[in-house]
Amino acid sequence: MKLNIASLFILLGAAANSALAGTEANATLNAKIAECGDIDNVMPVPQGAAATAEYRTCLEHPLGRAGPSDGDSLSKRACWTGKVAGCTGGYCWKRCGNDLAQGHWCWTAIGGTGDWYKCSADEQCHEYMPCGEGSGCASCGCSC
């Protein structure tokens, strides 16, 4: 097989692009780990997902299990039977579940897996916002 100079440059260019793509992917992952604090907290994006913008960077909510009432806690999420939705620490939450009297609530996220809804006042948060979702996410879902 005869290899001409043009073919050689094409092959070298393809190899360089492939190496560069791998380096960029590593840099992106390292930036996500730095933002989320741990590789286990980086939100997994399903293979072949059409729109990665539908997935937030970090799996867990920045405020953890702290919620509508005052006081941060990493222990069991406290139940809430007050207003239906509100803003705490700059993030939206809502009461949820089939029986609101149980006090279940959740942090809200765009489309469930997207960025956490941010707010500066209770009026910006609504009960129709979806609860945050994510496999293995302790601060996601509807519970107390």
- Give domain limits for the chain: 5-42, 43-144
Beta partners for 85? 94
The C-alpha R_g of the chain, in whole angstroms, comes to 21
- Taking alpha carbons only, the member of 44, 70, 38 closest to residue 57 is 44
Within 8 A by CB and 6+ apart from 1, the residues are: none
- Alpha-carbon span 93 to 55, nearest angstrom: 18
User: Can you give the pLDDT at residue 66?
Assistant: 63
Contact in structure between 125 and 92 (CB atoms under 8 Å): yes
Q: Judge if pTM exceeds 0.75.
A: no
- Which element (helix H / strand E) includes 93? strand 91-95
- Which element (helix H / strand E) includes 17? helix 5-36
105-107 β-sheet, strand order: 85-88, 91-95, 105-107
Amino acid at position 6, single letter = A
Amino acid at position 38, single letter = D
Q: Quick check: helix, strand or coil at residue 22?
A: helix
Contact in structure between 108 and 125 (CB atoms under 8 Å): yes
User: Can you give the pLDDT at residue 22?
Assistant: 44
Weakly modelled stretches of the chain, pLDDT under 70 = 1-27, 50-52, 65-76
Amino acid at position 138, single letter = A
